[in-house]
Structure 1
Amino acid sequence: MVTQIRARQTRARLLDAAAEEFAVHGYAATKLQAVVARTGMTKGALYGHFPSKRHLATALVAESVQQWGQISGTGPQCGVPADAILAGLIREMRAQLETNVRFRAALRLAADCELSSSGSPGLFEGIRGELVHSVRRAQEEKGLTQSYPAETVAYLLLALVYGTSHLPPWETVEGGTVDPDRAWEMLRTALNLG
């Protein structure tokens, strides 16, 4: 029992350290020695849990695919407008990118290379599918069938959310900083999504 707990804790520390490295450097530039150095463990401990860098990256992506499924898997709620559901997805994705280094790393890894070995949709594909579906529903509710293609809108939304997670704060002329929520609201208004 104690051994299992210790093994889970070691695995979690390795995933956290790897996430930090992958989020900053991407797949190709991340070195396993840097992951090991972040944990203070030996290379043997790393290889005991993950036989390669690819296995480590795949574990992070698989965890985030499952997490995204939980985030987006709530489905349409009765009486809740589709644009509110879409806004909730955007908010949750932004929150994950800001606070969850494993999710942030997994999204970077999914952008760097395809790591889905199970044949199921990868992280970007799952996010894309849910965003397209939500945009399409919001457009239908608003009667915007002749508006922008849902796929293009979803692409723009993902670019906004993913991009803002990598940008430093931008100062405004008034001395404040650009608010990503305000950017989302402007885009939502421009696209007639709410």
Structure 2
Amino acid sequence: MVRRTRAEMEATRASLLATARQELAKHGYADTSMDDLTAQAGLTRGALYHHFGDKKGLLAAVVAQIDDEMDARLQAISDQADDPWQGFRSRCRAYLEMALEPEIQRIVLRDARAVLGGASPDSQRHCLHSMQTLISALIAQGIVAPADARALAALIYGSLAEAAFWIAEGEDAAARMEQAAVGLDLLLRGLRVQPHDDQDC
């Protein structure tokens, strides 16, 4: 029996992920053949089953990889923003704009929802925690009106997620994106602390 090194195992897994990501983006989950995929990667189906269990497990791993990249992109927007409120708005809009990217649209927003039932519980918890942290900071700075940050995070994250699915499923995705952006601005505007008029009416 040939023992493979950890580096070789990691290289095999990375090769399968890269090939699967390419094929899933091009053909979609239903039309991606595991035999064609493993042949293209120069590997066996046994290697695929060893690392991912089955076709569904492979899809979940690809989705997790893309999710991590999306999260890094969104975090960079927050980190680079000079104004915390504009950074938050830009981050929310960027999430919706990602629904226009073919790879994200097909793999994360269509196939993952149809095959896996949507984002994993871990991914959802991470997104909610990130959103809650941002909102808590905005409340502490007096930018967002005082409210339960967890509740606001659940509402905003849920709205963004559903809007992204709505954008991805339509033939007119670009038009839907612009409509969603208008709705997003209205939604976020309601979070801001409103200046009080101290003068008598």
TM-score (norm 1): 0.62
Q: 2:83 is aligned with what amino acid?
A: P
How far apart are residue 145 of structure 1 and its match?
0.7
Aligned partners of 2:163 and 2:99: how far apart in 1? 12
- Structure 1 match to 2:183: 183
What is the 5 A alignment of 1:1-194?
11-19=17-25, 20-22=27-29, 30=30, 34-36=31-33, 42=39, 45=43, 47=45, 50-51=48-49, 52-74=54-76, 77=79, 80-102=82-104, 105-108=107-110, 109=112, 112-113=116-117, 122-140=122-140, 141-146=142-147, 149-150=151-152, 151-169=154-172, 177=175, 179=178, 180-192=180-192
Q: Percent identity?
A: 11
Aligned partners of 2:193 and 2:44: how far apart in 1? 47
Structure 1's unaligned 5+ residue stretches are: 23-29, 171-176
Residue by residue over 1:126-156, the C-alpha shift from the partner in whole angstroms, topping out at 9 and shown as x without a partner, is 2222223223333443251148831223322
Aligned partners of 1:163 and 1:65: how far apart in 2? 18
Summarize the Cα distance change of 1:122–1:193 in structure 2 as closer, same or farther, 3 Å threshold: farther
2:96–2:164: 8 Å Cα contact kept in structure 1? yes
How far apart are residue 63 of structure 1 and its match?
0.7
Count of matched residue positions in the alignment of Structure 1 and Structure 2? 172
Aligned partners of 2:86 and 2:97: how far apart in 1? 16
Q: 2:84 is aligned with what amino acid?
A: A
Larger RCO: 1 or 2 (CA < 8 Å, sep 6+): 1
How far apart are residue 67 of structure 1 and its match?
1.0
Over alpha carbons, which structure has the higher Rg? 2
70-79 or 47-56, which moves further after superposition? 70-79
Structure 2's unaligned 5+ residue stretches are: 1-10, 195-201
Secondary structure of the residue aligned to 2:86 is: helix
